[in-house]
Amino acid sequence: MNSPDDDDGDWDLVIRPNSSVFTLQLGEVWRYRDLLYLFTRRDIVAFYKQTILGPLWFFIQPIFTTLVYVLVFGRIAGLSTDGLPQILFYLCGITFWNYFSECFNKTATVFKDNAQLFGKVYFPRLIAPLSIVASNLIRFAIQFSLFLGFCFWYWWQGKIHPNAAVLWFPIIVATMATMGLGFGMLFSAMTTKYRDMVFLLSFGVQLLMYATPVIYPASEIPASVAKYLAWNPLTPLFEATRYGFLGAGNYSVSGLAYSIAFAVVMFIVSTAVFNRVERTFMDTV
């Protein structure tokens, strides 16, 4: 009897399980790049389909959130913004936090949300989380343009002083995407079997925001707490962003190096777990 390998030449496509849990199958992802585009387009269109204001919601959400933060944290709570305009300070944090949290939240439930599709047709499963990161990158680009508009206005008034640290911007965004993708893939592997993780995720991400200098500057963190929050890999990213674009923040190259290293290690570990669960998740989802 011939082995399956002997019959490969009779088929246009041979599908085999990954030989290693660390395999990313980038070649397969490239072959299915059209599907990646369709998934990304679907996520963008579904966001504002059957709405009156359509894509304007990409601008409305961060603006209204910023105004609420200014009222609650700036006016009522009186939190410091390191001397920066409150609107610009909170808009900066919201814009970047939304990108990370959306990548994390939606990737974390990718198996559960796409179970019916995964069970009917073959395609590299990595396509689904990658499409989430790509679609959220488009939303981030739109909201980031709004942030740049405010930056230009306040810079023209002399209230902020951008500097060369803005050159870190592509690396910061890539690190946030990698970190969000890594955390999301890790949680997606666990939510297929342990549905409790979905409930943990719903408020865990919110708690993570308060442990990250999104609505407050790192300079206001008490020394007794700062040594613990320093382990948060998101902290250097937000501080470097504010330092580069707004001219205030605790910027350090070593902090950025720590965040990048953490994101890479997290992505490697989550890829191994994701690939391992991918083989049998249809039995438990």
Q: What is the DSSP string of 164-227?
A: GGGGGHHHHHHHHHHHHHHHHHHHHHHHTT-THHHHHHHHHHHHHHHTTTTSS-GGGS-HHHHH
Confidence grade of residue 9 (pLDDT, cut at 50, 70, 90):
low
Confidence grade of residue 170 (pLDDT, cut at 50, 70, 90):
very high
Averaged pLDDT, 94-100: 94
The pLDDT score that the predictor gives to residue 1 is: 43
67-71, 136-140, 150-154, 190-194: lowest mean pLDDT where? Answer: 190-194
The pLDDT score that the predictor gives to residue 128 is: 83
CB neighbourhood size of 67 (10 A) = 15
The pLDDT score that the predictor gives to residue 147 is: 94
Percent of residues, the chain, with pLDDT higher than 70: 82
The pLDDT score that the predictor gives to residue 171 is: 95
DSSP H helical ranges for 57-126? 57-69, 86-108, 110-113, 115-118
- Position 55 pLDDT exceeds 80: no
Q: Regarding predicted confidence, which is higher, 70 or 39?
A: 70
The pLDDT score that the predictor gives to residue 285 is: 52
Averaged pLDDT, 104-127: 76
For the chain, give the mean pLDDT.
82
Q: Distance between CA atoms of 49 and 29, rounded to whole angstroms?
A: 28
Q: Regarding predicted confidence, which is higher, 204 or 32?
A: 204
Q: Distance between CA atoms of 285 and 105, rounded to whole angstroms?
A: 18
Averaged pLDDT, 46-75: 82
pTM assigned to the model: 0.84
Q: Distance between CA atoms of 208 and 218, rounded to whole angstroms?
A: 14
The pLDDT score that the predictor gives to residue 127 is: 84
